[in-house]
């Protein structure tokens, strides 16, 4: 919100002597950081950031009040002459609790325009003056005192005025020229023809003040914050008035702002007051709040004198009664945010300055908790993978339905995982698989000239369920491109599916992983983290003795069918071999060539034996013969 | 004396030094050796034949001349042979050695994501104070994301223009902050709070807000939430903890500054600034010349948040903070565009995340 320095100094004369930088620092320390200062209209305007709870600060007077409290300096008095209230000229009926008080007046306008200094004040705030005194005066009051008011063309109002709930379907053309269809939750000002304003938000076109207006009916009311907020949101109509009523205006300002408006119109254009009156009365203030000494001490972190606290709260406008164990505090009518004792404690600390809060480490009250096994699992996995050459990615949790459909399981329909209000179709489904995002990222890296791409992501994949998407903590890996060829010792080769299988086993996967081909030379693998060992599973196991006798290694070169699986062949051979002596059996070479019999391939199988004694050549020969026999039973033949 | 020998031998003697120097390897040298001092057909053998045939009175002088020639040749050949042999040895030694400045094979180079690394770092900083890690789902209920945090029912953040909702489950949304982890954790541990002696934890994680993607906005980003509940917890404990943590993170000379602010789930609330770690608070582009950078929002837990979880705010109190991970990462690294963190170019990841 823009705050103009000259008017700020009119509200708080002490500001005139402070340099702008100092004012900005004071405001920041009070919780109103200044985002910028600009020079406009021969003055300086401060862009002050005001938090949503402080509707009372959304004006020059409000900001001045904060500074005055901090500096303990007096504000300029706020006392326009009270017009003598008389009998209503127009009947004003308050039919809803959301509008407890409505001050008004009827004036006959004379000639004369908005004073230049007011016009330049409005220009400095980027608010355009209309050169219609009734409109500009209302606008000036809003920015200066924070109380929104409105002027109707009194001659266009038909009969009595009421503040009531709109009837569903009733129409109102607001000042911006848009016809609004109202609901029964909208509070309106209406005459006998229908609504003439959306209460606290915007006036209506039919009764607006124009160049030709001769008589005005003023409105200076108090509208319930929640009702105004809801209406502004319902009609997407956020105005200076709705911002202020929506954050809570000062009901006591209703009458004062009406008087200020009358005073301005009288002075600016020789308006003549026809009559002034107020419908309704001020709402009953909330019960006082008790600030216990113990709570204040606890929040502040040190013992503060109750007298000092009382003095600060009084400077803020509170009525304070000092009692044995604390302060009984009645907040001023403009502070809707002071509700509980903690709110009052905050005010005391805020005005003393947060820099005075002591700094203490909180004492331990119980034993510290360990990190969870699943958290540690992810920490260790990510480090292991990074050391294996994989790059951790972070991609969006939502993807396009097409990408999702290509990877998600058939029993995981996207409907239960779809957003109702996505940024766009391509970000609309909570992904059933991490692979589409990794595939896209891998392809992009390869396009950007990467020789090899190794990526992993840890994150949830989503499964539709009747109660909503279920998160399955998952690991996805992709690997593609060219391996090696980067030095004189390592030959180049394309990444193969088996490379990812090896990684899966390295990470502790015991079953065969389902490696997917994601296109030319690019492979992907996705695993629920539940399939991988938890960190705690890796605590040192029970000792098992190992042999220190020599190892005997034997190779068997076999011709096997192209359709033969290694897993089945190895299983058959293992059965034929002594389990306690066989240390390892593996295929160390695969040879496929047209020189071999058609439909056959050659496998080189290597066996390592070791026992708690020196093995004799004959017994190993016997085992190899048995292993060969087992292989032959599956159609393998010893390769000549 | 030379006149005792025939002209061809004298000529061979004259050519010998040049022929010797021309021998580039041992083979050539052996051939030369054979031609001059070999057992048969050499100049030396030829001279011996001459000596045998010479008249007796000349034998003595001729023998001396021949010996001088032979001796001179043999010595020179021996020296040259040693030279060539050592050169050969040196060459074969070189062939066995590899230039150590050649690029060696290197293990593959991977990287952690910089955002994860930063979150891990924060966890490390808080571990010595007894903080553990709590986590919660990214698809949350409206109750956990808003209601339990004292966020009014008509708060603008709840609007579908700000928060993503699930089409088939209107009560479910993508959490807009890590704060629902507070609610979940407090609800879970409320019955055992006394036996545990309060609770203190960090909640790092991903959150979603309906922002269009641009250099400073992303619909998904990360936060780290911190919370502590105990007896008699006040603003001094928040300040003390953050001072410790931010000094552990940015260096022992770091100063922190609390400024009043407002979040519905804390009271009192504050923004926390840290003395600019990039310019030692002297003023730079990052801190816009002020020497301070805003780093997180914090405050004492609002009594309504404790009550919602079934914890008596008259007995228990605590503090909470929340910080934006991307914001901090961008500030520390001066990365110009937020989108780089989600593009996952391996070069960026290696440079910014790297390995531990
Ligand atoms: Zn700086």
Q: What is the DSSP string of B78-141?
A: HHHHHHHHHHHHHHHHHHHS--TTSPPP-----B--HHHHHHHHHHHHHGGGT-EE----SEEE
Spatial contact of A95 and A167, defined as CB atoms under 8 Å apart: no
Secondary structure letter of residue B217 according to DSSP: B
Asked if A393 lies within 8 A of B344 by C-beta distance, the reply is yes
Which residues in chain A have their CB less than 8 angstroms from residue B350's CB? 391
CATH number at residue A335: 3.30.56.10
Rg (C-alpha) for chain B, rounded Å, is: 45
* Euclidean distance between CA atoms B96 and B83, whole angstroms: 20
Which residue in the set B120, B133, B259 is minimally distant from A354, CB to CB?
A: B259
User: What band does B6 get if pLDDT is binned at 50, 70 and 90?
Assistant: confident
Asked if B110 lies within 8 A of A387 by C-beta distance, the reply is yes
What is residue A291's three-state secondary structure? strand
A89-112 pLDDT, tens digit per residue, is: 999 999 999 999 999 999 999 988
Asked whether residue A454 falls in the same domain as residue A479, the answer is yes
A419: contact with B, CB 8 A cutoff: yes
Which residues in chain B have their CB less than 8 angstroms from residue A352's CB? none
* Predicted model pTM: 0.88
Asked if A418 lies within 8 A of B235 by C-beta distance, the reply is no
Asked if B167 lies within 8 A of A343 by C-beta distance, the reply is no
B222-269 pLDDT, tens digit per residue, is: 999 999 999 999 999 999 999 999 999 999 999 999 999 999 999 999
Spatial contact of A375 and B133, defined as CB atoms under 8 Å apart: yes
Asked if A31 lies within 8 A of B259 by C-beta distance, the reply is yes
Please check whether residue A57 lies inside any domain of the structure. yes
* Euclidean distance between CA atoms A413 and A405, whole angstroms: 9
Instruction: State both tokens at A429.
Output: 């489904």
* Euclidean distance between CA atoms A284 and B111, whole angstroms: 63
Spatial contact of B242 and A419, defined as CB atoms under 8 Å apart: no
Mean pLDDT score of chain B, rounded to an integer? Answer: 92
Please check whether residue A86 lies inside any domain of the structure. no
Which residues in chain A have their CB less than 8 angstroms from residue B228's CB? 362
A429: contact with B, CB 8 A cutoff: no
| DSSP symbols for A30-41 | TT--EEEEEEET
Spatial contact of A194 and A205, defined as CB atoms under 8 Å apart: no
Asked if B198 lies within 8 A of A355 by C-beta distance, the reply is no
Asked whether residue A594 falls in the same domain as residue A611, the answer is yes
Among the three residues A354, A382, A408, which one is the final residue of a domain in this structure?
Answer: A354
* Euclidean distance between CA atoms A42 and A6, whole angstroms: 10
* Euclidean distance between CA atoms A191 and A173, whole angstroms: 14
Which residues in chain B have their CB less than 8 angstroms from residue A385's CB? 110
> Token match 């409109």: residue?
A135
Which residue in the set A362, A394, A398 is minimally distant from B230, CB to CB?
A: A362
Asked whether residue A100 falls in the same domain as residue A242, the answer is yes
Report the residue of A391, A436, A490, A522 to disrupt the B interface, i.e. the one with the largest count of B CBs within 10 Å.
Answer: A391
Asked whether residue A487 falls in the same domain as residue A383, the answer is yes
Asked whether residue A26 falls in the same domain as residue A154, the answer is no
Measured CA distances, A325 to A290, A291, A345, B244 (Å) = 9, 8, 14, 34
Res B42 pLDDT > 90? no
Report the residue of B140, B237, B305, B353 to disrupt the A interface, i.e. the one with the largest count of A CBs within 10 Å.
Answer: B237
Asked whether residue A104 falls in the same domain as residue A214, the answer is yes
Instruction: State both tokens at B73.
Output: 């040749």
Asked whether residue A517 falls in the same domain as residue A567, the answer is no
* Euclidean distance between CA atoms A585 and A570, whole angstroms: 7
B111-142 pLDDT, tens digit per residue, is: 999 999 999 999 999 999 999 999 999 999 99
For residue A55, which of A254, A221, A248 has the smallest C-alpha distance?
Answer: A248
Kind and range of the H or E run holding A24? helix A20-29
ipTM: 0.91
Spatial contact of A32 and A48, defined as CB atoms under 8 Å apart: yes
* Euclidean distance between CA atoms A154 and A217, whole angstroms: 5
Which residue in the set A343, A362, A397 is minimally distant from B206, CB to CB?
A: A397
**Cβ count near A262 (within 10 Å):** 23
Mean pLDDT score of chain A, rounded to an integer? Answer: 95
Asked whether residue A487 falls in the same domain as residue A562, the answer is no
Asked if A359 lies within 8 A of B349 by C-beta distance, the reply is no
Spatial contact of A216 and A184, defined as CB atoms under 8 Å apart: no
For residue B227, the chain A residue with the least C-alpha distance is A362
Report the residue of B166, B307, B348 to disrupt the A interface, i.e. the one with the largest count of A CBs within 10 Å.
Answer: B166
* Euclidean distance between CA atoms A51 and A601, whole angstroms: 75
For residue B136, which of B92, B101, B100, B188 has the smallest C-alpha distance?
Answer: B188
Q: What residues in chain A have per-residue pLDDT under 70? A: 535-538
Among the three residues A496, A531, A566, which one is the final residue of a domain in this structure?
Answer: A531
Please, which residues 174-193 of chain B have a Cβ atom closer than 8 Å to chain A? 174
For residue A381, which of B133, B225, B224, B120 has the smallest C-alpha distance?
Answer: B120
Please check whether residue A99 lies inside any domain of the structure. yes
Which residue in the set B167, B199, B345 is minimally distant from A445, CB to CB?
A: B345
* Euclidean distance between CA atoms A167 and A186, whole angstroms: 8
Among the three residues A224, A252, A280, which one is the final residue of a domain in this structure?
Answer: A280
**What whole-number percentage of chain B has pLDDT above 90?**
66
Q: How, if at all, do strands A215-222 and A101-108 pair?
A: antiparallel
Which residue in the set A298, A371, A391 is minimally distant from B110, CB to CB?
A: A391
Query: B19 burial class (0-12, 13-18, 19+ CB within 10 angstroms)?
Result: middle
The set of residues, in sequence order, having a beta carbon less than 8 Å from that of A313 and lying 6+ positions away, is A320, A327, A329, A344, A347, A348
Asked whether residue A335 falls in the same domain as residue A386, the answer is no
Asked whether residue A13 falls in the same domain as residue A157, the answer is no
The set of residues, in sequence order, having a beta carbon less than 8 Å from that of A181 and lying 6+ positions away, is A169, A170, A171
Query: Mean pLDDT over residues B336-356, rounded?
Result: 93
**Cβ count near A596 (within 10 Å):** 14
The set of residues, in sequence order, having a beta carbon less than 8 Å from that of A352 and lying 6+ positions away, is A304, A308, A312
For residue B226, which of B210, B249, B209, B208 has the smallest C-alpha distance?
Answer: B249
Report the residue of A366, A422, A481, A488 to disrupt the B interface, i.e. the one with the largest count of B CBs within 10 Å.
Answer: A366
Rg (C-alpha) for chain A, rounded Å, is: 40
* Euclidean distance between CA atoms B101 and A169, whole angstroms: 85
B57-99 pLDDT, tens digit per residue, is: 888 888 888 888 889 888 999 999 999 999 889 888 888 888 8
Which residues in chain A have their CB less than 8 angstroms from residue B241's CB? 361-362
* Euclidean distance between CA atoms A602 and A558, whole angstroms: 5
* Euclidean distance between CA atoms A375 and A11, whole angstroms: 57
Query: A40 burial class (0-12, 13-18, 19+ CB within 10 angstroms)?
Result: middle
Please check whether residue A602 lies inside any domain of the structure. yes
Res B348 pLDDT > 60? yes
CATH number at residue A168: 3.50.40.10
B111: contact with A, CB 8 A cutoff: yes
Instruction: State both tokens at A225.
Output: 């914050």
Asked whether residue A515 falls in the same domain as residue A569, the answer is no
User: What band does B2 get if pLDDT is binned at 50, 70 and 90?
Assistant: low
Measured CA distances, B114 to A36, B59, B81, B208, B284 (Å) = 32, 98, 66, 19, 24
Asked if A393 lies within 8 A of B257 by C-beta distance, the reply is no
Instruction: State both tokens at A12.
Output: 């708080």
Instruction: State both tokens at A272.
Output: 């003549």
Asked whether residue A270 falls in the same domain as residue A296, the answer is no
CATH number at residue A579: 3.30.70.380
| Burial call B97-118: b when 16+ CB within 10 Å, e when fewer | eeeeeeeeeeeeebbbbbbbbb
Asked if A468 lies within 8 A of B342 by C-beta distance, the reply is no
Which residue in the set B129, B219, B270 is minimally distant from A354, CB to CB?
A: B270
For residue A147, which of A52, A273, A6, A248 has the smallest C-alpha distance?
Answer: A248
Please check whether residue A365 lies inside any domain of the structure. no
Please check whether residue A396 lies inside any domain of the structure. yes
Domain that holds residue A11: 2-71
Which residue in the set A389, A394, A441 is minimally distant from B341, CB to CB?
A: A394
Please check whether residue A260 lies inside any domain of the structure. yes
Please check whether residue A437 lies inside any domain of the structure. yes
Strands (E), A375-504: 391-392, 398-399, 429-430, 452-463, 470-483, 493-494
Measured CA distances, B333 to B139, B251, B330, B341 (Å) = 30, 16, 5, 12
For residue A354, which of B126, B260, B209, B304 has the smallest C-alpha distance?
Answer: B260
Q: Ligand 1 mean position to B331 CA, how many Å?
A: 10
A303: contact with B, CB 8 A cutoff: no
Report the domain count for chain A.
5
Which residues in chain A have their CB less than 8 angstroms from residue B116's CB? 382, 392, 394
Torsion of CA B92, B93, B97, B99, to 10 degrees: -90
Please, which residues 459-478 of chain A have a Cβ atom closer than 8 Å to chain B? 459-460, 462, 467-469, 471
A409-448 pLDDT, tens digit per residue, is: 999 999 999 999 999 999 999 999 999 999 999 999 999 9
B138: contact with A, CB 8 A cutoff: yes
């Amino acid at each position: 919100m823009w705050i103009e320095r000259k008017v700020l100094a009119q509200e708080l004369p002490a500001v005139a002597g402070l340099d702008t930088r100092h004012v900005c620092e004071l405001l920041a320390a009070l919780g109103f950081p200044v985002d910028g200062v600009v020079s406009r209209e021969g003055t300086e305007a401060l862009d002050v950031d005001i938090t949503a709870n402080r509707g009372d600060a959304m004006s020059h007077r409000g900001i001045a009040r904060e500074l005055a409290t901090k500096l303990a300096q007096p504000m300029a008095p706020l006392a326009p002459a009270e017009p003598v209230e008389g009998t209503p000229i127009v009947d004003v009926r308050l039919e809803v609790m959301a509008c407890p008080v409505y001050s008004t007046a009827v004036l006959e306008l004379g000639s004369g325009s908005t004073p230049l200094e007011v016009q330049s004040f409005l220009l400095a705030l980027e608010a355009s003056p209309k050169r219609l005194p009734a409109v500009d005066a209302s606008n000036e009051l809003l920015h200066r005192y924070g109380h929104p008011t409105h002027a109707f063309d009194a001659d266009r109002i038909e009969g009595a005025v009421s503040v009531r709930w709109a009837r569903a379907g009733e129409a109102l053309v607001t000042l911006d020229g848009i016809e609004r269809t109202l609901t029964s939750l909208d509070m309106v000002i209406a005459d006998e023809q229908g609504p003439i304003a959306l209460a606290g938000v915007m006036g209506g076109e039919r009764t607006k003040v124009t160049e030709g207006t001769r008589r005005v009916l003023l409105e200076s009311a108090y509208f319930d914050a929640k009702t105004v907020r809801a209406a502004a949101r319902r009609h997407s109509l956020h105005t200076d008035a709705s911002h202020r009523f929506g954050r809570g205006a000062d009901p006591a300002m209703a009458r004062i702002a009406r008087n200020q408006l009358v005073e301005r119109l009288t002075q600016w254009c020789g308006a003549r007051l026809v009559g002034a009156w107020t419908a309704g009365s001020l709402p009953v203030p909330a019960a006082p709040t008790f600030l216990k000494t113990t709570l204040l001490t606890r929040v502040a972190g040190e013992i503060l004198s109750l007298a000092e606290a009382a003095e600060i709260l009084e400077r803020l406008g509170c009525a304070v009664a000092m009692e044995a164990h604390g302060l009984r505090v009645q907040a001023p009518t403009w502070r809707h945010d002071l509700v509980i004792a903690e709110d009052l404690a905050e005010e005391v600390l805020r005005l003393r300055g947060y820099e005075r809060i002591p700094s203490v480490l909180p004492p331990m009250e119980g034993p510290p908790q360990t990190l969870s096994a699943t958290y540690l699992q992810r920490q260790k996995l990510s480090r292991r993978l990074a050391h294996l050459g994989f790059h951790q990615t972070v991609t969006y949790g939502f993807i396009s339905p097409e990408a999702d459909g290509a990877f998600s399981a058939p029993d995981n329909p996207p409907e239960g995982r779809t957003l109702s209000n996505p940024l766009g179709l391509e970000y609309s489904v909570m992904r059933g698989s991490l692979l589409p995002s990794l595939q896209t990222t891998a392809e992009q890296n390869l396009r950007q000239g990467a020789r090899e791409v190794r990526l992993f992501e840890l994150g949830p994949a989503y499964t539709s369920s009747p109660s909503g998407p279920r998160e399955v903590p998952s690991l996805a890996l992709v690997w593609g491109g060219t391996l090696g060829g980067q030095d004189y010792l390592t030959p180049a080769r394309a990444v193969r599916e088996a490379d990812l299988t090896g990684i899966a086993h390295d990470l502790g996967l015991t079953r065969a992983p389902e490696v997917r081909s994601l296109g030319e030379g690019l492979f992907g693998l996705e695993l629920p983290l539940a399939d991988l060992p938890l960190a705690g599973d890796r605590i040192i196991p029970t000792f098992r003795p190992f042999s220190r006798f020599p190892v005997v290694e034997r190779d068997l070169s076999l011709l096997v069918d192209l359709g033969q699986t290694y897993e089945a062949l190895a299983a058959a051979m293992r059965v034929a071999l002594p389990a306690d002596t066989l240390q390892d059996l593996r295929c160390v070479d695969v040879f496929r060539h047209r020189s071999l019999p058609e439909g056959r391939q050659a496998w080189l199988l290597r066996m390592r034996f070791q026992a708690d004694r020196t093995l004799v050549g004959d017994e190993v020969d016997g085992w190899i013969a048995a292993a060969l026999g087992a292989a032959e039973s599956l159609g393998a033949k010893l390769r000549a | 004396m030379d006149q005792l020998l025939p002209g061809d031998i004298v000529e061979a003697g004259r050519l010998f030094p040049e022929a010797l120097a021309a021998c580039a390897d041992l083979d050539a040298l052996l051939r030369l050796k054979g031609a001059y001092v070999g057992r048969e057909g050499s100049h030396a053998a030829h001279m011996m034949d001459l000596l045998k045939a010479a008249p007796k009175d000349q034998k003595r002088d001729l023998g001396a001349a021949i010996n001088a020639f032979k001796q001179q040749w043999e010595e020179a050949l021996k020296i040259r042979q040693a030279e060539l042999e050592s050169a050969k040895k040196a060459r074969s030694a070189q062939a066995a050695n590899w230039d150590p400045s050649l690029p060696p094979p290197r293990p593959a180079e991977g990287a952690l994501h910089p955002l994860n690394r930063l979150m891990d770092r924060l966890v490390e900083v808080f571990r010595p104070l007894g903080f553990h890690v709590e986590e919660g789902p990214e698809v949350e209920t409206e109750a956990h994301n808003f209601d339990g945090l004292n966020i009014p029912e008509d708060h603008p953040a709840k609007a579908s223009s700000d928060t993503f909702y699930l089409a088939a489950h209107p009560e479910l949304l993508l959490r807009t902050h890590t704060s629902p982890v507070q609610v979940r954790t407090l609800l879970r541990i409320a019955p055992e709070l006394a036996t545990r002696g309060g609770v203190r934890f960090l909640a790092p994680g991903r959150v979603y807000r309906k922002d269009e993607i641009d250099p400073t906005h992303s619909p998904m980003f990360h936060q780290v939430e911190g919370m502590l509940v105990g007896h008699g917890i006040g603003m001094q404990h928040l300040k003390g903890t953050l001072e410790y943590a931010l000094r552990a993170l940015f260096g022992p000379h770091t100063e922190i500054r609390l400024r009043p602010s407002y979040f519905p789930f804390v009271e009192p609330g504050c923004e926390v600034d840290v003395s600019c770690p990039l310019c030692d608070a002297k003023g730079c582009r990052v801190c816009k010349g002020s020497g301070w950078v805003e780093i997180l929002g914090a405050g004492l837990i609002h009594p309504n948040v404790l009550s919602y979880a079934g914890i008596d705010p008259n007995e228990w109190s605590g503090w909470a903070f929340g910080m934006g991970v991307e914001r901090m990462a961008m500030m520390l690294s001066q990365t110009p565009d937020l989108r780089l963190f989600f593009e996952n170019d391996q070069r960026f990841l290696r440079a910014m995340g790297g390995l531990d």
